[in-house]
Amino acid sequence: MVFGWGKKKEEPDSEKSNLQKQIHLPDVSKIIQQTLELRTSQTLSEIKLLRNNTEPLIKELVMIGNTLEKDDLQVDDIDKHLRIIVVRGKQQVIDMIKKDATSLPDIASYDDAENLNLVLHQMLKKIGDVLGRQTRVIHIFAKKYAEKLKEILIQMNSNHTEIQKLLKIHDQTKSAHGEIFESLREIDDLKINLKKKQQKIAEIHSFIDSLDQKIASIEDLIKKIKASDNYVQYLNLKQTLNTFDHKKNQIKNEIDSQFTKISRPLSRYEYISSDKEQKKLLYKLIKDPFDVLLLKNKDSIITILENIRKGISSGSISVKDFEKSSYQITETEETLDGFIRQVDDFIQQRQHIQDQINALESDKLSLHTRDLNTALYDKDNSKSKIRAIEDEINADHLLVPKLISEIEVKLQTFSNTKYTIVY
């Protein structure tokens, strides 16, 4: 708006076309490109017309400036101070017109149109600023020029507004064009990815087939090994070993029962003992005597028991019943050889059975079993991968119609035509 002079009302948008067409998806890019080119051409033609309508107005403005420059505005009869203000204001208007009211650039491309908009915007702003400051001078002392200036600037502003409107609409058109192309690119990418995923599934199925062959082969080898006499003997020995391990519990219960009788003095002696090796052995005797009742530990255990006996006698180890505790220690010492012999016999017999098992145990069976487990794991993992990819494919299939629907909406806005896209 130039120093408060008028504004042209915007024209209402024309009604959109109700045309309906059916097209195939590959044709969309061609349609939007053709439409964009047509819209660009139309926009440039309209802007060029507006430019050509504005150019004479600028020339009129220059003519007014030239006439105003020669006009003394009859200021000789007014106050000296006021005369200075009028003359200065007049000169500012003339200088502004000479400097800023220049010829507009020609229109050959869309860039030219955008440049025209910028040039016209800057021109009108500078003219508006100067005339706005000098409104009183123009309306009072150059009144005969005011109406014409008003008409020129109203029309120039109107033309500029139309140019801006056209550029804005075209920018929206270009934006819609880009959005549609982006959606088309997404669909193309989805198609490519769908093919890749389907190919991946085919590759995994092929891998599973090879695994099935491998699994069948390994299972056959394992079956042959398990059918051998050695394996039957191996299983029998494993069963024997499991049964034999029950014997340990019997021996352990006897030993635990005996050492429980002296658990209190053992604990007291562990507390006061300063010998590190003895403390370690004492800890094991209290926790699980079976594990330490070995021939190599016999002398040390006897020493511990005798030291406890001495501690009870001296009173350094307190007990409720001196005689009973002494008897139980003696009893433990007397049963020690028998316990050690039982433990040693058990260990030797168990080791003999274990050695037989180890000799019969098939390295091939272990290897085949490990390979079988690996193959089964790979098969399960491959099936999981297929399910995951299939989920992705299903999601992609749902996404394509959604994108097409979005394109149809954008296309209608873009072209004023309702398209139904066949996919």
The pLDDT of residue 78 is 65
- The residue type of 265 is P
DSSP 65-88: HHHHHH--TT-TTS-HHHHHHHHH
pLDDT confidence bin for 185, thresholds 50/70/90:
very high
* pLDDT above 60 for 17: no
pLDDT at residue number 338: 92
Looking at residue 121, its pLDDT comes to 92
pLDDT of res. 353: 80
Whether 12 has a pLDDT exceeding 60, the answer reads: no
Contacts of 224 (CB under 8 A, 6+ apart): none
Residue 13 has what pLDDT? 44
> Highest-confidence range of 6-15, 240-249, 356-365, by mean pLDDT?
240-249
Distance CA 191, CA 397 (A): 9
Q: Give the DSSP H/E element, type plus range, for residue 377.
A: helix 363-415
**Tokens encoding 393:** 């494919």
CA distance 119 to 125: 10
pLDDT of residue 242: 79
Confidence of residue 117 (pLDDT cuts 50, 70, 90): very high
pLDDT at 2 over 70: no
**Predicted confidence band of residue 6 (pLDDT cuts 50, 70, 90):** very low
Single-letter code of the amino acid located at 104: L
Residue 19's pLDDT band (cuts 50, 70, 90): low
Of residues 232 and 325, more confidence is placed in 325
Residue type at 47?
I
DSSP 195-236: HHHHHHHHHHHHHHHHHHHHHHHHHHHHHHHHTSHHHHHHHH
Measuring CA to CA, which residue among 204, 317, 200 is closest to residue 263? 317
User: Residue 337: enclosing H or E segment and its boundaries?
Assistant: helix 322-360
SS3 content of the chain, % helix, strand, coil (to 5): 85, 5, 15
Confidence of residue 18 (pLDDT cuts 50, 70, 90): low
Q: Is 62 a residue whose pLDDT tops 50?
A: yes
SS3 275: coil
Cα 207 from chain centroid? Answer: 30
pTM to 2 decimal places: 0.54
User: Helix crossing, 322-360 with 263-272: angle to 10°?
Assistant: 90
Q: Is the pLDDT of residue 11 over 60?
A: no
What pLDDT does 163 receive? 94
Report pLDDT for 351.
Answer: 87
pLDDT in the model for residue 128: 82
Q: What is the pLDDT of residue 79?
A: 65
- Kindly report which listed range (7-21, 59-73, 187-201, 376-390) carries the lowest average pLDDT score: 7-21
The region of weakest confidence among 221-235, 258-272, 319-333 is 221-235
User: What is the per-residue pLDDT for 167?
Assistant: 94
Nearest partner of 128 among 154, 165, 102, judged by Cα: 154
Q: 314 by DSSP, 3-state: which?
A: helix
pLDDT digits (tens, 9 = 90+) for 248-278: 888 889 998 888 888 888 888 887 877 788 8
Interval 152-181: pLDDT, tens: 889 999 999 999 999 998 998 888 888 889
CB neighbourhood size of 291 (10 A): 13
Q: What residues form DSSP beta bridges with 422?
A: 24
**How much is the mean pLDDT over the chain?**
84
Facing residues of 20 across strands?
418
pLDDT > 90 fraction of the chain, expressed in percent and rounded: 28
Which pLDDT belongs to residue 274? Answer: 74
The model's pLDDT over 331-387, given as tens digits with 9 standing for 90+, comes to: 988 999 999 999 999 888 888 888 877 776 666 778 788 889 999 999 999 999 999
Angle formed at CA 387 by CA 381 and CA 393, multiple of 5 degrees: 140
User: Residue 85 pLDDT more than 80?
Assistant: no
Contact 43, 113 (CB under 8 A): yes
Phi, then psi, of 37 in degrees rounded to 5: -60, -40
So what's the pLDDT on residue 75? 59
Phi and psi at residue 23, in whole multiples of 5°? -135, 160
User: pLDDT for 277-310, tens place per residue?
Assistant: 888 888 888 888 998 899 998 898 898 888 888 8
In this prediction, residue 189 carries a pLDDT of 92
Q: Do residues 342 and 251 touch, judged by C-beta distance below 8 A?
A: yes
Alpha carbon distance 338, 151 (integer Å):
130
* Region 124-148 average pLDDT: 76
pLDDT at 94 over 70: yes
Contact yes or no for 258/332 (Cβ under 8 A): yes
Q: Is the pLDDT of residue 10 over 60?
A: no
145 or 334: whose pLDDT is higher?
Answer: 334
DSSP 3-state of 22 = strand
